[in-house]
Structure 1
Amino acid sequence: MTAIPSFQRLAQQFAAFFGVGVAAAVAHYGLLVALVEGGLASPVPATLAGYIAGGLVSYALNRTHTYRSTRPHREATWRFALVALVGFFLTWIFMHAFVEWLGAPYLPAQLVTTGIVMLWSFIAHKAWTFA
């Protein structure tokens, strides 16, 4: 019977993570689209700038709402930054592959990339950053 409450807690935590992800995605995609459509940057650098903006939103909201972490900022921020750095490189790798090598449109490519990086981030933050 204890597996059900653990699963429920995990499902609730993932739902909160997803909600925070939506807020972070608004910042990320908003900046991405603004930079690309405004002619200020090509899709790959624009998505990396958006990733940073989304990361700032993600840290603040995940720390307080998803993981309810009491880990001091001096520990959590560098851990978050390291996980985000891996996510940043995963974003670059997948976006470069989809857009540059495969010629995919940038928004569908970003949706797939977001899903991949979201799974990585949830697991890494739960197990290490905010544990």
Structure 2
Amino acid sequence: MRRESPHAGPLRALFRQFSAFAGVGLVAAVAHYGALIGLVEGAGASPVPATLAGYVLGGVVSYALNRRYAFDSDRPHREATWRFATVAGVGFVLTGLFMGLFNGRLGLPYLPAQVLTTGVVLLWSFSANRFWTFRP
């Protein structure tokens, strides 16, 4: 019989939480990327400001869903919202910096640049929200 590691329970819980966070992130990304593409292709906006507008829209979706599904937080909104906004503010700055680097400086097309940027910001925001915003 195979013996389960004593760390399997916490690792499984972490995986479940990250999976829920990533699922919520997909829903928020649809809002973010929809705004980005709509603003760039439909309104002729520059990719960096367009992605920042999309980031804000995705952030609103993300807060509501992460609070309920990924972190199952009972932290009062008056505490969680300013913490989430702080984490999102750092993510907003990171989004602008990385999009500026990938799209502006390195010349990547805006959608691949946004995918890379999303990966970087995903790791930051999961860690910060798990250990600070929604921590019990």
Under a length normalisation based on structure 2, what TM-score does the superposition of the two structures give? 0.94
- How far apart, in 1, do the equivalents of 2:78 and 2:107 lie? 41
Residues 3-62 of structure 1: CA deviation (Å, up to 9, x unaligned): 100000000000000000000000000000000001341100000000000000000000
1:81 and 2:85 correspond: yes
Cα distance in 1 for residues equivalent to 2:102 and 2:11: 34
Comparing 1-10 with 25-34, greater Cα deviation is found at: 1-10
Of 62, 65, 73, the residue aligned with 2:66 is 62
1:72 is matched with 76
- Whose Rg is larger? 2
The unaligned stretches of length 5 or more in structure 2 are none
Quote the residue 1:95 is aligned against. 99
Which amino acid letter does the alignment assign opposite residue 79 of structure 2?
E
SS of the equivalent of 1:38 reads helix
Report the AA paired with residue 30 of structure 1: G
Which residue of 13, 25, 46 corresponds with 1:9?
13
For 1:99-114, list aligned pairs within 5 A: 99-114=103-118
Q: CA RMSD in A?
A: 0.7
Q: Measure the CA separation in 2 of the matches of 1:2 and 1:23.
A: 34
Distance 2:64 2:44 in 1: 28
Q: Between the two proteins, what is the percent identity of the paired residues? A: 63
User: Displaced runs of 4+ in structure 1, greater than 6 A?
Assistant: none
Give the whole-Å Cα distance in 2 for the aligned partners of 1:4 and 1:118.
24
Stretch moving more, 35-44 or 103-112: 35-44
Number of aligned residue pairs: give it.
131
| SS in structure 1 of the partner of residue 61 of structure 2 | helix
